[in-house]
Chains A and B, each alone.
Chain A
């Protein structure tokens, strides 16, 4: 397991990073595998080592809409940290995937046992959520769409 810190892991101090990684196991998935479904139990999460994952929502008549993709270094899943611990999106591997997989109840337990570690993990996840919220709001602007008032020039 590499200890190089990038993406989500870079938000954690080295001691907290090691503590978290001690709870990980390396996993791989072939392309096309569904990692979780909307409303499924959020009992695991991953840090992507390589490959790409699509987050999606099922929309009847529109097939499955991909709302965001995640890649190397990124945290896959945060619903495991908040009750009711259910995924609010689905996730599917778009390519062969290598990831560090975590058992969510164990990590939550570690957070309770060591409040300093718990705060760091919560802080790191909050940063991920904030960043994705900012990105989503930017996309809400539909910046590249046609201008509303195609007036004079």
Chain B
């Protein structure tokens, strides 16, 4: 038997939900043997038949079922977004570092997401909500382009019972009652002790930099800020070389890295 890291295993789409104009959430179920279990923050290489595969973070883990939120930004991701229940895909994984939530035991948690960056953070939030006794206060801060671009709006509302959930958009419409502005402004209203807080940040790179810098300024230790980075990936197994960021192979040493490691690398242009 070949390792599931090298050759995909067949999975079947059991549900599809459009999130926004260009983004959908699909739930996959193994058509045969399942892959090893995924941890929040890890990713799968998901193969659209005859088109190719792309790295997709898991945004839900339910037994052997995998949930992915995919944004159509190219041929492969467009094919994956268009999948309907009953369709088959190939999946390899799990790959990469996870968020490492258990290491944040006892800390206040800051989950900061920008745009599609909420997807990889969702299983982390669900895990923290499931074991509230292990952690301090849970904050979920979400930025999006427009109100209609917010992922999982119903869930965000549901999480409010047990977490401080704040949302902000770049452009409001008339009905929007939340904040307008960048996601970092929400930090003012988050409940956390900077000296015993762990932050988990995912979004576009400038948003990650702005957020992490702001957190450091507020006294959060760089080692306790974990960011999820993106580079192109062809293999997931550390062999294709595409996902290099200086000394890091992001499929292996990432995608989640500490701000201590990431900061200087992100400051070098075109590294």
Report A's interface with B, CB cutoff 8 A: 6-7, 52, 54, 63, 65-69, 71-74, 94, 134-135, 138-139, 141-147, 150-153
A139 touches B76 (CB 8 A): no
Task: Tell me, in angstroms, the Cα distance from A6 to B76 when the chains sit together.
Answer: 48
Residues of B with C-beta under 8 A to A52: 179
Taking the closest CB of chain B, its distance from the CB of A87, in whole angstroms, is 18
B115 touches A144 (CB 8 A): yes
Residues of B with C-beta under 8 A to A74: 188
Taking the closest CB of chain A, its distance from the CB of B270, in whole angstroms, is 16
Instruction: Indicate whether A69 sits within 8 Å of B181 (C-beta atoms), given known contacts A143-B203, A144-B144.
Output: yes
B180 touches A68 (CB 8 A): yes
A152 touches B75 (CB 8 A): yes
A138 touches B180 (CB 8 A): no
B204 touches A143 (CB 8 A): yes
A139 touches B74 (CB 8 A): no
Task: Tell me, in angstroms, the Cα distance from A26 to B203 when the chains sit together.
Answer: 39
How many residue pairs link A and B with beta carbons under 8 A? The number is 75
Residues of A with C-beta under 8 A to B149: 144
Task: Tell me, in angstroms, the Cα distance from A72 to B190 when the chains sit together.
Answer: 11
Taking the closest CB of chain B, its distance from the CB of A44, in whole angstroms, is 22
- B170 at interface (Cβ–Cβ under 8 A)? yes
Q: A147-B73, A150-B73 are in contact. List 19 more A-B contacts (CB 8 A).
A: A6-B188, A66-B180, A69-B179, A69-B180, A69-B181, A71-B179, A72-B189, A74-B188, A134-B210, A135-B182, A135-B184, A138-B210, A139-B182, A141-B204, A143-B204, A144-B170, A144-B203, A146-B73, A153-B75
Task: Tell me, in angstroms, the Cα distance from A134 to B255 when the chains sit together.
Answer: 27
Taking the closest CB of chain B, its distance from the CB of A7, in whole angstroms, is 6
- B247 at interface (Cβ–Cβ under 8 A)? no
A143 touches B115 (CB 8 A): yes
B188 touches A143 (CB 8 A): no
Residues of B with C-beta under 8 A to A151: 74
Taking the closest CB of chain A, its distance from the CB of B201, in whole angstroms, is 13
Among B179-203, those with CB < 8 Å from A are 179-182, 184-185, 188-189, 203
Partner of B188, one of A72, A142, A146: A72
Taking the closest CB of chain A, its distance from the CB of B194, in whole angstroms, is 13
A152 touches B74 (CB 8 A): yes
Residues of A with C-beta under 8 A to B228: none
Task: Tell me, in angstroms, the Cα distance from A82 to B81 when the chains sit together.
Answer: 52
Q: Which residue of B lies closest to A52 (CB)?
A: B179
- B215 at interface (Cβ–Cβ under 8 A)? no
Task: Tell me, in angstroms, the Cα distance from A71 to B190 when the chains sit together.
Answer: 12
- B22 at interface (Cβ–Cβ under 8 A)? yes
